[in-house]
Amino acid sequence: SRFETCWPALMKDCHGVIIIFNPELPSHLKEIEMWYSCFVQQQPLLDSQCLLVAHHKPGSAGDTENLTLAYPLNKLKLIHSNLEEDPEDVRMEFIKYFRSIITIINESREREEMSIIS
């Protein structure tokens, strides 16, 4: 991609990665492996710092709610978003995800402070 030169700047001091994809496109399922590899594994970030969002377009066909992803993507938190249906679930999942990221940041900051003190 022509934006790859920008990736290091995007990744600098990154605390979390949200990958949104269309589960009905087989090409997207291949691409999310690449995004995960570049933005999570090579950082390195914890799997808990990554959220996968399978976004279903209005009127989309197919039973992709039962999406099973291959390793290593199957270790990640996966949520389904569909703006036609109740978006409240998605909102709650985002809040949970952001809270977990804040916890990770606070814990690493405390560890840094302790290592400076000791």
Domain span including residue 85: 12-117
Q: Rounded to two decimals, what is the model's pTM? A: 0.84
Q: Are strands 17-21 and 77-81 parallel, antiparallel or unpaired?
A: unpaired
pLDDT digits 0-9 by tens, 26-82: 888 889 999 999 999 988 899 999 999 999 887 776 556 678 888 999 999 999 988
pLDDT digits 0-9 by tens, 67-97: 888 899 999 999 998 877 778 888 999 999 9
Residue 9 CA to its chain's centroid (Å): 18
Q: Which amino acid is at 74?
A: N
Please indicate, yes or no, if residue 53 is contained in any of the structural domains. yes
77-81 β-sheet, strand order: 17-21, 50-55, 77-81
Let me know: does 94 contact 84? Beta carbons within 8 Å. Answer: no
Please indicate, yes or no, if residue 18 is contained in any of the structural domains. yes
Domains: count for the chain: 1
Please indicate, yes or no, if residue 20 is contained in any of the structural domains. yes
Please indicate, yes or no, if residue 7 is contained in any of the structural domains. no
Please indicate, yes or no, if residue 4 is contained in any of the structural domains. no
Please indicate, yes or no, if residue 6 is contained in any of the structural domains. no
Please indicate, yes or no, if residue 94 is contained in any of the structural domains. yes
Let me know: does 46 contact 104? Beta carbons within 8 Å. Answer: yes
Residue 1 has pLDDT above 60, yes or no: no
Q: Within 10 A of 51 (CB to CB), how many other CB atoms are there?
A: 21
CATH number at residue 55: 3.40.50
Please indicate, yes or no, if residue 86 is contained in any of the structural domains. yes
